[in-house]
Chain A
Amino acid sequence: MAIGFTVNGKQVNVEAEADTPLLWVLREDLALTGTKFGCGIAACGACSVHVDGELTRSCSVPVSDIAGKAVTTIEGLKSDDGALHAVQQAWIDAQVPQCGYCQSGQIMAAVALIERTGTPSDTQIDEAMTNICRCGTYPRIRAAILAATGQAAANIQGEA
């Protein structure tokens, strides 16, 4: 079936089986591979995107449910002039990623948390940041969220 929605502000119309998860439409039909496949059962969060502003695990949402909605992926976080989102910059400043595979999802979750709470507390970070990172970057993820919301200095200084 034909399904229309917007991705990162642009209207798209895709031909897909109704039950195809949004994740695979993004990755294979729209070539937006920044959104990752991790588990397929909404357990790890690597596929996190925003749908009408709501944090959504795209591996477990059929694309037919997305018709007429607005999807934002990691590729859509930059501003129109190409400047990084404050959370992306905080991730670089804190040198968060190791293998990096889960970080698109982590960043999408952090942006949603900050949009909802303004300045999230440690408890709110604990409750909201449920994405899995196997490299164990959790302390730097927390530090980056605190820095992005002005609650701590980005304390990593290094030679570029």
Chain B
Amino acid sequence: MADNPNPNIDETDAIPAQVPAKKKGVKRRIFLAGSALLVGGGVFGLYWSDSNAGKHARALTETGAGERNFLTWMKIAPDDTVTVYSPHIDFGQGTHTALGQMLADELDADWSKVRVEQAPADMAFANTPLVKSFLGEMSGYPGVISALPAALMGMLARSQKIQITGGSSAVRFTGQGGMRVVGAAVRAALIEEAADRLGVPAGELTTADSAVTHAASGRSLRYGELAAGAAGRSLASDPVLKSRAEWKLINKPVIRRDIPAKVDGSAIYGIDLSLPDMRVATIAAAPVRGGKLEAVDEAPALAVPGVEKVVKLDDAVIVVAKGYWQALKGLNALSPKFTDGGNGAMSTPSIYAAQDKLREAGKPDNTAGDGDVDAAFKAAGDKVISADYRVPFLHHAMMEPFALTAHFKDGKLTLWGGLQDPLGARDRAAKAAGIDMDDVIFNPMIMGGGFGRRFPPMTEIIDQAALLAKQVPYPVKLVWSREEEVRHGTYRPQSSARLKATLENGRIAAWQNDYVQGDNAEGEVGFIYEVPATARRHFAYKSNQNDGPWRSVNSTQHGFYNESFVDELAYAAGEDPFAFRRKHLPEGSRHRKVLETVAERAGWGSPLPEGVGRGIAIVESFGTIVAEVVEATVKEDGSPKVLKAFAVVDCGTTVNPLNAEAQIAGGIIMGLSSAIGEAITLDNGAVVESNFSDYNVLKLADAPPVIDVHFIESDAAMGGIGEPGLPPASPALANALLAATGKRIRTLPLLQQAKA
């Protein structure tokens, strides 16, 4: 198309919005009617009509003269500046830019005068569309719910105290169900106001660049002039949204505004905060999770110059000093005694052994699937194909170590830092400090990464900072060392699976996945292939570690299991891995098109140099289908080397193609990194790894120099973009290494296996 801004994106008309088998019965909140996107009237929920919340939000946001707030979502200033409030954190995934694009496009606002700000950590800005959409997904597609296991359920139970950033949810739920609708509704109100002021029918008015124009008389009114009148009007809850052809900002490459401050050192992250009279503290928690602090002699720390105080918590010791270095020296001078909480025998091998035993006992906690696998396996006799896969705990390794500043004064606790749910942070801090949530103020700051680590339910630093602040009269910034951060994570769980299948006439006749992990992955992780009999059996196992959501959550390990095993079946059937997958995907489906497109772009089947192999994988997660091809070889030292990577993505529509490309490429690199070198291991109940010296994060030299990312655009429901690039990367690499070396790797990370 002539106006296609990105040659990597082809526009495909009229792809039917396919509902895969696993999503039967889903009631979609957002549906297509003709060319206009309509959103159900109920999406707005509480704050669409709650005038008290509206008044409160106005008090918080109408800070400049003549500014007018609309529904807590945005305000217009007399100089036409539009400020959009994002309930989501932007930690580099580009959410603020994308949400701003969506609202500004429907509003017909001048993009140069649109600003996007983090919404205050206040109940008036609780993210109702997100909660509703998650609840909607729960009815037939509980994926994202189980993706954020007990944590999110707890949040839902706490009703609206939610401003979560996760589940690749910002654009597809808040953006589609909130930002676009608000933009369109406010635009309609501005037109009504202009029609009255100009004395002309609304139908004769047009909008562009933050102005309403009456072409016949040549008159025009700016949004800044109309805002006060429009703000008093009732807003439609189901305005007609623009069609794809009318978009000016959505699906266009827009430059991110947060980048200049990130290249000149001026961006202030949570760890950078400095306040008058502030002290800095650092902490050592019990090395074995579940252990308690038994005793500590404070004297050696207090003898270190600059150290002011030692604070004992139930399971940790904190040293407070003038600066971080003094605090760390003080902490290192201590010899605290901790108990092991009865977890001292826990180790990486003991966890795998316990998981094997649980699976062998054959009593699953949850079962899903279709058809009769038992009959198929019985009929196949000794022709059943089976393989066992194992994946380790993974650490988030966000580049900014945890830091949270707290000040307790006059019964109120004020916090500064970066967390993935500011309201949830207030809630947890209030509980820890034993005060009311109304007495906790949280100031969100930008974050150096998150990837699922910064959800308040798994974030002990909130309790630690709150308890510490109650014991000192000044503001105190609690900073975790990298060692503390590596050893006290909420990891992607160590887990394992036994895959079983039978083949009949070159097709998969039955497929079973017996997997052992904490949470039931059903719903989040579906099965995309056409197979008459399938069973997914979950065996629940918990170690002493905190399981947490890690970028792409359960799809990391299940992508590896499923896409490694289907590759094994292709070889068992004597067939090409691409052709074998293709014939098991429905004809005319989005999945088949994504797979075919990546094969074509990667030159699947073309000759490769000696020692180089090509692997393919396809995973659907968070509503987005991604297929990847990796070319890889093995270096002289036995370690894997990725040479090229290709990705084809169907997320319905990208909002900002520039940023979507970065998210997919980044997800691939994180997936390759985890597959190649990352593992948290346990010995005597404690984490063995300590820092980037032994937790191996991929560096530039080992990442593919260029990643070819291609989007298939359609009118299908919008999927997520932050997480779905990751899951196909590890199986595509393992499959490529099999093609290169003939060796099938079923236990991650590859580095340990390749050298074994």
Binding site for B on A (CB under 8 A): 17, 20-21, 24, 27-29, 31-41, 43-44, 46, 73-75, 77-78, 84, 88, 91-92, 95-104, 107, 122, 125-127, 129-142, 156-160
Contact = CB atoms under 8 A, between A and B. Distances in A.
A17 B305 contact: yes
Contacts of B448: 36, 99-102
Nearest to A29: B323
8 contacts: A17-B326, A34-B265, A100-B259, A130-B701, A134-B397, A134-B449, A134-B670, A139-B703
B268 to A, nearest CB: 7
A24 B324 contact: yes
A27 B400 CA distance: 14
Interface stretch (B380-388, B621-629, B690-698): B690-698
Contacts of A33: 265, 268-269, 272, 274
B658 A99 contact: no
Contacts of B261: 100
Interface in B447-470: 447-451
A158 B666 contact: no
B399 A74 contact: no
B256 A95 contact: yes
Given A40-B482, A41-B693, A46-B399, A103 B262 contact: yes
Contacts of A36: 269, 271, 399-400, 448
B442 interface: no
B265 A104 contact: yes
Nearest to B304: A17
Contacts of A103: 262-263
Nearest to A90: B263
Which residue, B260, B263, B265, B324, has most C-beta atoms of chain A within 10 A? B263
A74 B398 contact: no
A38 B697 CA distance: 13
Contacts of B252: 158-159
A141 B701 CA distance: 11
A85 B254 CA distance: 23
Most buried by A among B252, B691, B692, B707: B692
B49 to A, nearest CB: 35
B291 interface: no
Binding site secondary structure of chain B: loop
A28 B322 CA distance: 9
Contact of B693 (A43, A95, A96): A43
A49 to B, nearest CB: 11
Interface residues of B, number: 75
Contact of B401 (A38, A122, A160): A38
A129 B700 contact: yes
A107 B489 CA distance: 29
B701 to A, nearest CB: 4
A16 B446 CA distance: 30
A95 B255 contact: yes
A122 B700 CA distance: 11
A132 B92 contact: no
A101 B264 contact: no
Contact of B92 (A43, A44, A98): A98
3 closest Cβ contacts across the A-B interface?
A34-B265, A101-B448, A136-B669
A129 B699 CA distance: 8
A92 B260 CA distance: 7
Nearest to B671: A136
Interface of B: 5, 91-94, 111-112, 249, 252-256, 258-269, 271-272, 274, 280, 305-306, 323-326, 328, 396-401, 446-451, 479, 481-482, 658-659, 662-663, 665-670, 673, 691-693, 697-701, 703-707
Given A34-B266, A98-B93, A158-B253, A134 B271 contact: no
A134 B398 contact: yes
A136 to B, nearest CB: 3
Contact of A134 (B269, B272, B399, B446): B399
A134 B324 contact: no
Given A43-B691, A138-B699, 9 more contacts: A20-B323, A24-B323, A24-B325, A28-B323, A35-B265, A95-B256, A98-B663, A104-B265, A134-B399
A137 B658 contact: no
A28 B280 contact: yes
Q: Which of A92, A99, A160 has the most CB of B within 10 A?
A: A99
A121 B303 CA distance: 52
B276 to A, nearest CB: 13
A54 B92 CA distance: 30
B263 A38 contact: no
Contact of A139 (B274, B481, B665): B665
Contacts of B699: 129-132, 138
B700 A159 contact: no
Contact of B700 (A29, A38, A138): A138
Contacts of A20: 323, 325
Given A24-B325, A138-B669, A37 B265 contact: no
Contacts of B271: 36-37
A9 B51 CA distance: 56
A74 B706 CA distance: 27
Contact of A136 (B254, B482, B665): B665
B399 A142 contact: no
A149 to B, nearest CB: 16
Given A43-B693, A44-B399, A84 B667 contact: no
B253 A159 contact: yes
A160 B271 CA distance: 29
A138 B697 CA distance: 12
A99 B91 contact: yes
Given A99-B447, A136-B670, A159-B252, A142 B705 contact: yes
A82 to B, nearest CB: 10
A74 B264 contact: yes
A132 B692 contact: yes
B476 to A, nearest CB: 14
Given A74-B265, A126-B700, A136 B258 contact: no
Nearest to B485: A39
Contacts of B670: 134-136
A73 B112 contact: no
Nearest to A75: B265
A146 B262 CA distance: 20
Contact of B662 (A39, A131, A137): A137
A160 B703 contact: no
Nearest to A31: B274
Contacts of B700: 125-126, 129-131, 133, 138, 141-142
A77 B264 CA distance: 8
A101 B399 contact: yes
B378 to A, nearest CB: 46
Contacts of B397: 132, 134
Residue in B400, B447, B450 whose Cβ sees the most chain A Cβ within 10 Å: B400
Given A17-B305, A158-B254, A133 B399 contact: yes
Contacts of B691: 39-41, 43
Contacts of A101: 269, 398-400, 448-449
Contacts of B5: 157
Given A17-B305, A84-B264, A100-B448, A137 B666 contact: yes
Given A34-B264, A38-B401, A39-B482, A95 B324 contact: no
A32 B399 contact: no
A145 B57 CA distance: 45
B642 to A, nearest CB: 11
Contacts of A31: 274
Nearest to A98: B92
Contacts of B112: 160
B589 to A, nearest CB: 29
A20 to B, nearest CB: 5
B323 to A, nearest CB: 5
